[in-house]
Chains A and B, each alone.
Chain A
Amino acid sequence: MIRNFFIIAIVAGLAAIFVTLFWNFGDSTTLTPLATHYADKGAAEVGAPNLVTSIVVTYRGFDTLGEVTILFLVASIVSFFLKREKLQKDIELKRETSEIILTASKLLVPIVMVLGVYVFINGHLTPGGGFQGGAIIATAFVLLLMANPDFKINHRIISIVESVSGISFVLVGVFGILLAGGFLDNKVLPLGTFGKIFSAGAIPLIYSFVGLKVGSELSNILSNFQGIQKEEM
């Protein structure tokens, strides 16, 4: 009884807060000074038609570095906890895949890879970027795993790609300190023509590194989940 009363009181309190918020809500039509600066001068300063990309990569470059680091930590923790130990019995229980999914995966995996590369290289022109492109590349690996359950991703290649792209990402940032305005400044390379692929300075380079790193990390996580492990519970 008392418990129900408490629940009702909490729900009523939340409803009151929500209703006041809802009535006082209005579209804010004016931009803050920082947003005005981005909207007016962002395209000219960075040279990327997609303003979101220029904010994410250049103005807020440190945040992107932090996100990539968090993903790296997640990948290492997952691979630390999910050690792979094969049990022969479980593998025999698996049903074989059908012809159709094998053919479809042979057809689709190259298309999906190219799509992922397109998404992160064109990050400064179209919506998308390193994280989305990396996720798409990881799904190509999932498709391979689906078609062939015994397929093993080569962990050595993946770790090499991941480390090289991570180091290159930071190195581009350090070059930004030496040659241009600051860490992760994109004016290391010439800005180029507005709206072409090789423009906007170092943004396509940085996004390619981010995309490769995210893609290899996510496929590492997924391949760790895929293995059959000995339970100790």
Chain B
Amino acid sequence: MNLIIIIVLSLIMVVMAVTAIIHKKLAVAVIATGVVSLMASVMYLLMAAPDVAMTEAAIGSGLSTIIFFYVLNKIRKAK
């Protein structure tokens, strides 16, 4: 069971990471990185590291997405 979850989630992570690199819209890239952090957090939990999972969920998926969108907002205003 754990192995299946790890394989599926890591496949999704790889696909999302490639999307974040090659997609033209910045907002889509930011959401894709958020998904990568989300899946990484579940995988840390599977590897019995709840502290790291909590940090990844709070910083990687939450705060960095928020700050990225604030910055995108500022860039849009500058144009």
Contacts and interface: CB of A to CB of B under 8 A. Distances in A.
A137 to B, nearest CB: 11
B51 A225 contact: no
B79 to A, nearest CB: 9
A225 B62 contact: no
Nearest to B45: A127
A68 interface: no
B66 A142 contact: yes
Given A90-B77, A222-B67, A231-B77, A52 B51 contact: yes
Interface string B35-79: 000000000000000110111001100110011001100100110
B51 A128 contact: yes
**Secondary structure type dominating chain A contacts:** helix
B70 A225 contact: yes
Given A218-B63, A228-B77, A132 B54 contact: yes
A229 interface: yes
A226 interface: yes
A138 B63 contact: yes
Given A131-B58, A135-B59, A139-B63, 16 more contacts: A50-B51, A53-B51, A119-B54, A127-B54, A131-B59, A132-B55, A132-B58, A135-B58, A142-B66, A221-B67, A222-B70, A225-B67, A225-B71, A226-B70, A231-B78, A233-B78
Interface of A: 50, 52-53, 90, 119, 127-129, 131-132, 135-136, 138-139, 142, 218, 221-222, 225-226, 228-229, 231, 233
Interface of B: 50-51, 53-55, 58-59, 62-63, 66-67, 70-71, 74, 77-78
